[in-house]
A and B are shown apart, each in its own frame.
Chain A
Amino acid sequence: MQSSSYTRDRCVTGVHGLDEILRGGIPYGSTVLAAGTCGSGKTTLGMEFLVRGAATGEACAHFTATEPSVKLLENIRQFPFFDMGMVDSGLINVFDMDVLYSWLGLEKASFDLEDVHALIKAITDIVNTIGVTRLVIDSVTTLCYKIKSEQLIRDFLFTLGKKLATLGCTTILISEITSATENAHWSSFGVEEAICDGIIVMGDVERMGHLLRFLQVVKMRGTAHSRAKNTLELTPLGVMLTPMLKWGSTVDNKQGWG
């Protein structure tokens, strides 16, 4: 009989403050939606998640659909926590979705069921062959724009998440949202949030004339976690999360979520 003190193994993110919020890290094999507004630090968070894993010898993969990998690497290499050697040595594998589409003959405006299955197979093939344990897809919004049916998006994310979990891969799906307020959806298509094991919301909140970035873990299956807002700072050492103080807000009473 299982003890009530059973806890799932964790994928320690290594992101300062995030593991504390998650009481030790993301449960292994989870698919987490990191939904954030423009400039909220989603890509940096995703990249740091990979770098911290690679630093402990984990194989990582990053699929970039929003910006070319060359640009992504140029932007990220200014952070001292990032080491280009990890890319060169194959610990962090960065894939351009455009290249992947081209290789799979998916250079088209919209994907059908067969295309979606080909994409899932390609991603899981890569994860399985390299033994990837940390994966970031940036962004799932851009990717899902090519899938016209809501049902197909749901199938895509569900099947992908299930297969990656079976392979022991912890995945962050980055999602672009236009607003992170309490009334906002945390996904662009309305289906991602229901399928993912966890939801991390990132956005901006105004404090005394300053626009602060915040991060909030809204949902994380398999672990207790704080649901408080944390300020997110992009420091040279990486993402730094600190609990947000309640005082001084000029908009909290009106907007609640930021």
Chain B
Amino acid sequence: MATKDNLVFSSDDEEYFGEAGSFGVPKFDIEMRGGIPRGFTVVCIVETGAGAELFAKQFSSPAEEPENTLYVSTSESGKEILRVFSKYGWPDDINVRTIGEEYNERVLEKELQASRYRLQGFGMKDIQTLAQTRFVDDEADDFLTELTNEIMTLKPYFRAVVDNMDFFFQRNDHSKVVSMLRMMQAHTQMMRGLLLMTVSKDTITKATESEISMIADMVLRFEVFMVGTEFETRMVIKKFRNAPENLAVITYRVTPEEGITPETVQRIA
């Protein structure tokens, strides 16, 4: 693994990747005065229905190096994700990991099987297999550590998205998730990567929210509310490290051509 001491960025790479990367939303890049600085970790605190899943996918779409771009989903299937990428014409050769599917396969199916054994008992074949099984399949179901390890192995200028962190907050001690997030943020900073994570507003406590907001370089809040008889969606840029002038409230809509598209911008700072 690269360390601070042995990590050298070539001038060619620096020139190619630049100081900032794209959010995947051109109008948003403009509003943020050139995009997202390399090394940033973005935390999106989202409300259901605000379109953050699409924004997460859109964020991975610039995929400067597809093999160094990772999209982790905890709820969607691989097919669903690729269908959206293909609909918007985004590159579909990035690395996709579907932890939700893995969880179903590794944990839920095992639990279902255990329930079946408990309810219906063992058949002769089961007993024969049981008598010949000498070791417990101890494949760790620690998805949080796996996720952290996977992010920590990404190379310089990587781009990674985790949609969303609720899965980990619901299954782990919040302090453990925050510690892992801290490690991932440090790695992103060191590798000049770009990391975006989403988390639902109602999943975390105020204390956890303020802790992860402190760790993140940028905090976006996705909100949805009713105006008259219509839904309106907006994004509040609550934190932008070293650039408070970027703090803003942006209303946006979703178009079939561009995905998330900012409409109006109201500066906060």
Contact = CB atoms under 8 A, between A and B. Distances in A.
Interface in A80-101: 90, 93-96, 98-101
B127 to A, nearest CB: 5
A95 B130 contact: yes
B110 A105 contact: yes
B122 A126 contact: yes
A103 interface: yes
Contacts of A69: 134
A105 B121 contact: no
Interface string A51-78: 0000000000000000011100000000
Contact of A129 (B115, B118, B127, B137): B127
Interface residues of B, number: 20
Contact of A121 (B118, B127, B133): B118
Nearest to B138: A102
Contacts of A100: 130
Contacts of B133: 96, 99
B136 A129 contact: no
Contacts of B117: 103-104, 122
Contacts of A95: 130-131
A125 B119 CA distance: 11
Contact of B123 (A70, A104, A129): A129
A60 to B, nearest CB: 11
Nearest to A125: B121
B127 A126 contact: yes
A228 interface: no
Given A125-B122, A129-B124, A102 B130 contact: no
Given A103-B117, A121-B121, A129-B122, A93 B134 contact: no
Please indicate which of the listed interface residues B117, B118, B133 has the most CB atoms of chain A within 10 Å of its own CB: B118
Nearest to A130: B127
B111 A99 contact: no
B16 interface: no
Interface residues of A, number: 25
A118 interface: yes
A48 B227 CA distance: 80
B114 A99 contact: no
Contacts of A96: 133-136
A183 to B, nearest CB: 39
Contacts of A98: 136
A111 B245 CA distance: 57
Interface in B103-132: 110-111, 113-115, 117-118, 121-124, 127-128, 130-131
Given A104-B117, A105-B114, A122-B117, A99 B130 contact: yes
A99 to B, nearest CB: 5
A98 B137 CA distance: 10
Contacts of B131: 90, 93-95
A95 B135 CA distance: 10
Interface in A204-252: none
Nearest to B111: A105
Given A122-B121, A126-B122, A102 B127 contact: no
Interface in B51-78: none
Contacts of B118: 104-105, 118, 121-122
Contacts of B137: 102
A169 B136 CA distance: 27
Contacts of B135: 68, 70, 96, 99
A105 B111 CA distance: 6
Nearest to B118: A118
Contacts of B123: 129
Interface in A94-139: 94-96, 98-107, 118, 121-122, 125-126, 129-130
Given A102-B137, A121-B118, 8 more contacts: A95-B130, A99-B135, A99-B136, A101-B136, A103-B113, A104-B117, A121-B121, A129-B123
19 contacts: A70-B134, A70-B135, A93-B131, A94-B131, A96-B134, A96-B135, A96-B136, A99-B130, A99-B134, A99-B135, A100-B130, A104-B114, A105-B110, A118-B118, A122-B122, A125-B127, A126-B127, A129-B122, A130-B124
Interface of A: 68-70, 90, 93-96, 98-107, 118, 121-122, 125-126, 129-130
Enumerate the 5 nearest inter-chain pairs by beta-carbon distance, A residue then B residue, closest first: A105-B114, A125-B121, A93-B131, A118-B118, A102-B136
